[in-house]
Amino acid sequence: MAVSGLIPIVLLGTLILIFSGRLLVQWSRRGQARVVTIEDYSQARAALDSVFVETAAIKRIFANEDTEFISQTGTGDVQRFFLKERKRLAIQWVRMTQKQVAHLMDLHLKLASYTYEPSPRSEVRLTVNYLCFILASNGLLILLWLFGPFKAVRIVAYSVRAAEYFSSEFSLRLERVDPVKLSSARQPRSV
Amino acid sequence: MGTNLIWWSAIALETAVLCRGAKAALLRKYPFFYAYVASVLLIDLLRFSCYEFASSFYQAFYWHSELVTIVTSYAIVFEIFRGSLRHNPAVAGLAQTLLLVVFVLTGTYVASDLLHGGFVSLSRVTAELGRDLRYVEGALLLVMLWLFGRYRISFGRNLLGLAIGYSLLVGLDVINLAFLFLPGNEFSIGLRKSLPITYLITLSIWCASLWSSQPEPLPPAERAIDRDYALLGAKTRAALAHLSTRAGRTLWP
């Protein structure tokens, strides 16, 4: 067996040890966990919705008007304090949302294990959605931490708009492609 | 002296596991596991006799009996699967499909590896077959451990000890076997020496966790759960979709 063939086998052995360690941790926390019911799940969904109940207040965290007002009237110290507070609030809000979504997914998985006919395709799709959420929310956290709430939101909005622009451009180009010309170009040249 | 001490300790622990299993009425609960321990005890006694009275025959006997040990240890995979997923039909169904796929894939991989290796000697082929069967077993165990973690399957103390001890044994054995068959396997010599100690630790875990019968976690009441996956999946997907829409509306005007 070559060294390259050794890597997957060693990885297999290591993963077995890691996952069994995780199982032990899961068992040691069993005191905190109790039997999950559909009632808990409904409560978790309501809790996730409640993250957005105060929409106006959350919008205020990222509002540009406030930063413009402070930069015109406030001293340097006030501006720094204001930015620090807004950054803390924004990070707290994203973390709370992450926590609520993780709790909901946790309950979903526990309840899904009791169902009769699971759909692996649906589970995979849900996992991909959840992974995308984790990726996006952690990306947002990094941006918030590096640039603060106002610049971070501008960067995200710019990236989303750019992605939308490229997506629509590609769609238009595809519509303009002449299928007749394309098929003649694909034909092999005669010698 | 050291080898004999390990040998006798293993035999003593295996006997203790069996005796406690009989006393705590666990033999009927985990019959495949106890059948495995009984077969290993028998093999250990035969190996010891062979080592003492016909040492020239020992090496060949070791690899043949090792193959039997590995094949019988598949009973533990089945026991863990059977015991842990009784109340979780969805995960059991998913696990069955995944285990079958993993078994076919790893089985094909090791079969091709074995065929390409060529026939050197009977003991070598037996050793390689034993190694490859251990790899397949490791892959099956990994899939099960992943599913247990993902779906937060609850374990009782008895079954948890069985699974943890077995994972420790298989995990380290897989790593060791990979190095053992590598040319210039100096690293494996140290690992190989530590393997009997790992086996003793595994037996100690089994002995402690299966000392008495512990209650298994109860499934939730039928009225407290929803057996319809389509409805549950749709609700969670809707919650995630709703979240992204509201987050978009909140973050940018």
Residue extents of the structural domains in chain A:
36-171
- In the chain, the amino acid numbered B179 is F
The Cα–Cα gap between B253 and B238 comes to: 23
Cβ contact, residue pair B87, A122, below 8 Å: no
Whether the CB of B117 is below 8 Å from some CB of chain A: the reply is no
Question: Alpha helix (H) ranges present in chain B?
Answer: 2-23, 31-53, 55-84, 89-117, 122-150, 157-180, 186-209, 229-251
Rounded to a whole number of angstroms, the distance from the CA of A77 to the nearest CA of chain B is 26
Least confidently predicted of A4-18, A148-162, B43-57: A148-162
Residues of A in contact with B233 (CB under 8 A): 112, 119, 122-123, 126
Instruction: Please tell me the predicted confidence (pLDDT) of residue A191.
Output: 40
Whether the CB of B133 is below 8 Å from some CB of chain A: the reply is no
More confident residue, A45 or B114: A45
Rounded mean pLDDT of chain B?
A: 82
Query: pLDDT tens digits, residue range B13-36?
Result: 999 999 999 998 889 888 999 999
The Cα–Cα gap between A140 and B249 comes to: 15
* pLDDT over threshold 60, residue A139: yes
- In the chain, the amino acid numbered B113 is D
In chain B, what percentage of residues exceed pLDDT 70?
A: 85
Tell me how far CA of residue A188 lies from CA of A47, A146, A179, A183, A185, in angstroms: 62, 55, 16, 10, 8
Query: pLDDT tens digits, residue range B88-144?
Result: 777 777 777 778 787 787 778 777 776 776 666 666 777 777 788 888 889 889 988
Residues of B in contact with A50 (CB under 8 A): none
Instruction: Please tell me the predicted confidence (pLDDT) of residue A17.
Output: 94
Mark which residues 79-138 of A lie under 8 Å from B by CB.
97, 101, 104-106, 108-120, 122-123, 125-126, 129-130, 133
Answer yes or no: pTM beyond 0.90: no
Q: What ipTM goes with this model?
A: 0.80
Other CB atoms within a 10 A radius of the CB of residue A39 amount to 10
* pLDDT over threshold 80, residue A25: yes
Cβ contact, residue pair A55, B250, below 8 Å: yes
Q: Any idea what the Cα angle at residue A162 is, between residues A158 and A167, rounded to 5°?
A: 150
Whether the CB of B201 is below 8 Å from some CB of chain A: the reply is no
Cβ contact, residue pair B171, A45, below 8 Å: no
More confident residue, B62 or A22: A22
Q: Any idea what the Cα angle at residue B208 is, between residues B203 and B210, rounded to 5°?
A: 90
Most confident of B75-89, B158-172, B186-200: B158-172
B185 pLDDT tier (thresholds 50, 70, 90): low
* pLDDT over threshold 70, residue B188: no
Instruction: Please tell me the predicted confidence (pLDDT) of residue A190.
Output: 44
Rounded to a whole number of angstroms, the distance from the CA of B141 to the nearest CA of chain A is 7
A175 pLDDT tier (thresholds 50, 70, 90): low
Residue B213 tokens, joined: 């019968």
Are the C-beta atoms of residues B155 and B84 closer than 8 Å to each other? yes
The Cα–Cα gap between A157 and A140 comes to: 11
Query: pLDDT tens digits, residue range A93-135?
Result: 889 888 888 888 888 888 887 777 767 778 888 888 888 888 9
Instruction: Please tell me the predicted confidence (pLDDT) of residue A13.
Output: 92
Average pLDDT over residues B147-174: 89
